[in-house]
Amino acid sequence: MTSMNQTPRSERLHIAIFGRRNAGKSSLINSLTRQEAAIVSAVPGTTTDPVKKSMEILPIGPVVIIDTAGIDDEGELGEKRIQMTMRILDQTNLALLVLDPEQGIDGYEEQLLEQFQRRDTDVIAVGNKIDIDPDVTGGQAWAREHKVPFTAVSAVTGEGVDELKRLMSDVAPDDFFQPALIGDLLSPGDAAIMVIPVDKAAPKGRLILPQVMTIRDVIDHDAYALVVKERELRAAIENLQTPPKIVVTDSQAVLKASADTPKDIWFTTFSILFARYKGDLETLVRGAKALRDLQPGAKVLIAEACTHHPVEDDIGQVQIPRWLRQYAGGDIEFNYQSGGDFPADLESYDVVVHCGACMLNRQEMCARIAKADDMGIPIINYGVFLSFVHGILPRALEPFPLARMSWEED
């Protein structure tokens, strides 16, 4: 488990290394991290499954580095490895494409580049092995032709690696570092009240990560965080000399908290804050609108990013199916998917309902939302769904004008 003092893995910049077998991908990771993090050998196909390592790379900061299997792998197993490598693409914020002068450049590199461009993923071409082949003009020309930044290294001697790090820090997407959680809604001195029910579902003796992150973001912006259970909310608001700027509640307490919060105070849920932080809130809100047209016989995909044992009254297995059947006024076909895969055959579904994605990084959740949206399949997440079924979604969107507009469109 991640300790509270570390940047959670899903919030780190994900840098993945791609290229052919034996290009020196694993060696480059070791060189970047100055550790024996990955196994290196002269046998092609040494790295089989993607390997992730969380680390600090200066001057970039906390990152996850991902080693992948060669894109030119062969045979039935090789096919599977290539699929795993392709899946890593969806999580990647910054791609390093390793070029091997011993093997040359052709179709494989072009294929990868096309995949990066399709996802708008930033990429750097890295000409490796300059210790044995110092002539980098081939790689350089190829990179220039494809408008990709290029730098040359030796993963074995370490030559050029500092320059590569500088380039990585330049190219790394700026907006990655500033996804707004709540701080952009607050001015210094504003009060934000967090409503956290302490019921049997709450972990003993602590708060959960989304709550902790929200409180931290409030104080980072020089505002005040006041944390209460739902029963104390009304008195807390009345006793403040200046009304709070916003009340944020756990979805379980949303009805009571909404009733106890005066209409002129912003009111939203942790789930909505995280829906914006993790993904594309506007598209998720359009997904909620599509629920209104759900007919009996519809096919719904429930997608969860991690596998967990379903609990009594499990939200994905029990609550959402019950609500949706009620909503549609008849039976609905549910399919479940959990873990790393997001199915490619989304076309057969009328709606996708996705979990809150605490285990996914923003890049991957946005890629999933975009995939569904591109196919014209409405997608909604648990957080937006809960506000919708409780009838408080328009209110919970008041602080977010774009999402509010997407709710009000025709």
Distance CA 281, CA 153 (A): 41
Strand partners, 302: 336, 353
Q: In whole angstroms, how close is the CB of 36 to ligand GTP at the nearest point? A: 11
Give residues 3-32 in contact with ligand GTP (rule: CB under 6 A).
19, 21-27
356 is in the binding site of which of ligand GTP, Mg ion, none (Cβ under 5 to 8 A by kind)? Answer: none
- Take residue 159 and report the two structure tokens written for it: 């030559």
Q: Is 33 in the site for Mg ion (CB under 5 A)?
A: no
Distance CA 202, CA 32 (A): 41
**Is the distance from CB of 71 to CB of 108 less than 8 angstroms?**
yes
Query: Alpha helix (H) ranges present in 221-314?
Result: 233-239, 254-260, 270-278, 281-291
Query: Alpha helix (H) ranges present in 250-319?
Result: 254-260, 270-278, 281-291
The amino acid at residue 320 is I
Q: In whole angstroms, how close is the CB of 76 to ligand GTP at the nearest point? A: 17
* Residue 226: strand, helix, or coil: strand
Q: Which is nearer to Mg ion, 26 or 31 (CB)?
A: 26
Q: Binding mask 95-134 vs ligand GTP (x if CB under 6 A, - otherwise)?
A: ---------------------------------xx-xx--
Distance CA 247, CA 195 (A): 7
Q: Which is nearer to ligand GTP, 44 or 340 (CB)?
A: 44
- How many binding residues for ligand GTP (CB under 6 A)? 24
Give residues 387-406 in contact with ligand GTP (rule: CB under 6 A).
none
Q: Which is nearer to ligand GTP, 129 or 245 (CB)?
A: 129
Region for residue 56 given its phi and psi (left: phi exceeds 0; alpha: psi -120 to 50; beta: otherwise): beta
Q: Is the omega angle on the peptide bond into residue 59 within 30 degrees of 0, that is, cis?
A: yes
Q: Which is nearer to Mg ion, 38 or 152 (CB)?
A: 38
Q: Is 271 in the site for ligand GTP (CB under 6 A)?
A: no
Please identify which residue in 10, 26, 30, 381 interacts with Mg ion, judged by CB under 5 A.
26
Q: In this structure, are strands 379-381 and 351-354 parallel, antiparallel, or unpaired?
A: parallel
Q: Tell me which residue has its CB nearest to Mg ion.
A: 47
Q: Which is nearer to ligand GTP, 1 or 42 (CB)?
A: 42
Please identify which residue in 7, 46, 140, 317 interacts with Mg ion, judged by CB under 5 A.
46
Q: In whole angstroms, how close is the CB of 131 to ligand GTP at the nearest point? A: 5
DSSP 152-200: E--TTT-TTHHHHHHHHHHHS-GGGG---SSGGG--TT-EEEEE---ST
Contact range with ligand GTP by CB under 6 A, out of 40-48, 88-96, 117-125, 180-188:
40-48
Q: Binding mask 47-76 vs Mg ion (x if CB under 5 A, - otherwise)?
A: x-----------------------------
Q: In whole angstroms, how close is the CB of 165 to Mg ion at the nearest point? A: 20
- Take residue 48 and report the two structure tokens written for it: 């089989």
Region for residue 342 given its phi and psi (left: phi exceeds 0; alpha: psi -120 to 50; beta: otherwise): beta
Q: Which is nearer to ligand GTP, 88 or 392 (CB)?
A: 88
Q: What share of the chain is helix, strand, coil (3-state, %, to 5)?
A: 40, 20, 40
279 is in the binding site of which of Mg ion, ligand GTP, none (Cβ under 5 to 8 A by kind)? Answer: none
Contact range with Mg ion by CB under 5 A, out of 11-19, 26-34, 165-173, 348-356:
26-34
Q: Is 42 in the site for ligand GTP (CB under 6 A)?
A: yes
Q: Tell me which residue has its CB nearest to ligand GTP.
A: 24
Query: Alpha helix (H) ranges present in 292-381?
Result: 320-328, 362-374
The amino acid at residue 68 is T
Q: Which is nearer to ligand GTP, 48 or 317 (CB)?
A: 48
Give residues 59-78 in contact with ligand GTP (rule: CB under 6 A).
69-70
Contact range with Mg ion by CB under 5 A, out of 21-29, 133-141, 205-213, 224-232:
21-29
The footprint of ligand GTP (CB under 6 A) covers: 19, 21-27, 40-42, 44-47, 69-70, 128-129, 131-132, 154-156
